[in-house]
Structure 1
């Protein structure tokens, strides 16, 4: 185990030193994409060929281009779809759509503010952030001007919602449904988020590692290089988070205290991307997007993760969610011909 040389700085210093910004006003979002983001390609999922092995479980159709997915303790799931843009609420056991909620723009990531919602919905095209009830699909709040292309969102333990401002380079803090504060560009292109207690850990898809923000003080508190190029982040147990090193072919487990400490590396060749964690069974699920595989990892001892098996999936498995009632999983898939699906894998079909 190795503690990284984390950098503890205030948001003002972050703005001046890391981005060359001449303004110290953290209430003003960046107006332009950081220059390196325009020249350095971001990490992306692998482009999967048609599966050579039939997917395990049941496959049902869903919307178009599904990606972000969550399942609440009620057994109701939500998945984001595009063209037309919206959120499909579905039954996690059967995949049957319960309700379609139209949105202004699409969401790449979804997360839950609590065990059964609301769903946190960052809308990339409209620069808005909404909260959505799983029970009836009602939109309980919407905040506008949450950066340029808000990408992911999490709720920290103090109740603050942190949203990544992907094309602006910073983060936005939301309280009581409204923007409370913003920080200027830190990560060049912030992507996935993991909530770890009062902290929000951000993956930079441009390859600059992990950045940590304190939801209580709304300040940046740590930064360190992690992996090659990260995409998604995942909350684990205690003070741990996992980061998909999509270009590096691994998932990296880090301790966020808020200093960033290396804990373990999980081999995951084939552009790892989507992740989910079953806290009751200490199992982590990783989609290997280039090979149509779902990898199952035992995290009973997070310092010694153990791969227990792989599951064949539908084509282009970008996202996965765990049904907390049963331990089953649901995987999203999108074929080049335009058909999209949910793959429902019951617990008896999963390696244990």
Structure 2
């Protein structure tokens, strides 16, 4: 097991100050604005559309019937979970089978499309916003569905309890013994994903393009920071940082959480969107949907250093990585299957 040490404070402070400002949370259900909001009705950034592919995807491509909506890898056994829409289901692939031709997955049918997949010990958490439900899937394919009112979009685990970002309720809910309470809200226009870093929950608000602290015990949304002009996805690393893709402006942002501060803003043109972190190699894999590419950045230093760049299937909205084998799996949101790359 590797010993982690703190990384030096990262550069780009002046540029960061120009683009990321503190945001105060407040109580109430009204839509929240701030002094730098330039339009009355902001819209959440989405993945830029991909052109037709002109270069063969790196590695191998496995056919999947439907559009991939989310992916995750269970690092303990290497199972790769792929959420697919129309019909809604999760495909569970064995790590070793992915290296061979035509792997046969275990198929788990869902009540609706999963927007996110999170590994929580020996199970997967799959929020199903259209059905106000959380699907809990064991790694051998057993399904249990729990009601989760409020359009759940993302999930994380804190002290054995599931945390759910609830888009419609503009807050974070705590799921304990099948009951969703409390729901912590106030100061958010949307709650689109939640992660836990060093025991501290952080919620992503795509409408405000911001990240906020969440105080579970105090039941309060804390301080927030603007995350560029169109934040879309969030992931954590082993150095207690939160990475956010600013899809609208084309950048990769890194925040510390104690305190919540922007530590890095790195330009990444090409429709930066999906992310996955390889904890063994400290590689952050980022998809570029406007270019049909996936890029591997070494994030150990004061700024990301590009190590790999590969052509992908069309519309590579999702990516996951197996830290044991370094294998990267990219999912197409336009029905072109999943792509398996071994760097």
Q: TM-score, normalised by structure 2?
A: 0.85
Aligned twin of 2:4: none
Aligned residues: CA RMSD: 2.4
1:137 aligns with 2:135: no
1:80 aligns with 2:80: no
Does the 8 A contact of 1:88 with 1:97 survive in 2?
A: no
Does the 8 A contact of 1:168 with 1:185 survive in 2?
A: no
Does the 8 A contact of 2:172 with 2:203 survive in 1?
A: no
Aligned twin of 1:312: 311
Deviations 1:132-181 (A, max 9, x none): 111x2112x4331331x21111112x223221112332221112332121
Residues 67 and 18 (structure 1), Cα distance of their counterparts in 2 relative to 1, 3 Å cut: closer
Runs of 5+ consecutive residues of structure 2 not aligned to the other structure: 1-9
**Separation (CA, whole Å) in 2 of partners of 1:111 and 1:256:** 20
Aligned twin of 1:260: 260
Aligned twin of 1:343: 339
Look up the SS of the partner of 2:27 in the other structure. Answer: helix
**Separation (CA, whole Å) in 2 of partners of 1:107 and 1:38:** 30
Offset at 1:266? 2.7
- Identify which of 14, 27, 31 aligns with 1:14: 27
Aligned twin of 1:325: 324
1:274 aligns with 2:271: no
Runs of 5+ consecutive residues of structure 1 not aligned to the other structure: 21-35
Does the 8 A contact of 1:111 with 1:153 survive in 2?
A: yes
Residues 216 and 97 (structure 1), Cα distance of their counterparts in 2 relative to 1, 3 Å cut: farther
Look up the SS of the partner of 2:192 in the other structure. Answer: strand
Aligned twin of 2:131: 126
1:108 aligns with 2:106: no
**Separation (CA, whole Å) in 1 of partners of 2:213 and 2:264:** 19
Residues 228 and 19 (structure 1), Cα distance of their counterparts in 2 relative to 1, 3 Å cut: closer
Offset at 1:19? 4.8
Q: How many residues were matched structurally?
A: 318
**Separation (CA, whole Å) in 1 of partners of 2:201 and 2:136:** 18
1:244 aligns with 2:248: no
Does the 8 A contact of 1:129 with 1:146 survive in 2?
A: no
**Separation (CA, whole Å) in 2 of partners of 1:74 and 1:217:** 37
**Separation (CA, whole Å) in 1 of partners of 2:330 and 2:39:** 30
**Separation (CA, whole Å) in 1 of partners of 2:333 and 2:115:** 14
Q: TM-score, normalised by structure 1?
A: 0.83
Residues 133 and 300 (structure 1), Cα distance of their counterparts in 2 relative to 1, 3 Å cut: same
Offset at 1:236? 0.9
Does the 8 A contact of 2:71 with 2:320 survive in 1?
A: yes
Aligned twin of 1:29: none
Offset at 1:85? 0.8
Which residues in structure 2 correspond to 1:129-278 (within 5 Å)?
A: 129-134=134-139, 136-139=140-143, 141-147=144-150, 149-156=151-158, 158-257=159-258, 259-278=259-278
Residues 215 and 277 (structure 1), Cα distance of their counterparts in 2 relative to 1, 3 Å cut: farther
Aligned twin of 1:98: 105
**Separation (CA, whole Å) in 1 of partners of 2:314 and 2:153:** 23
**Separation (CA, whole Å) in 1 of partners of 2:255 and 2:135:** 29
Offset at 1:332? 0.2
Offset at 1:56? 0.4
Offset at 1:194? 2.3
Residues 333 and 92 (structure 1), Cα distance of their counterparts in 2 relative to 1, 3 Å cut: farther
Aligned twin of 1:27: none
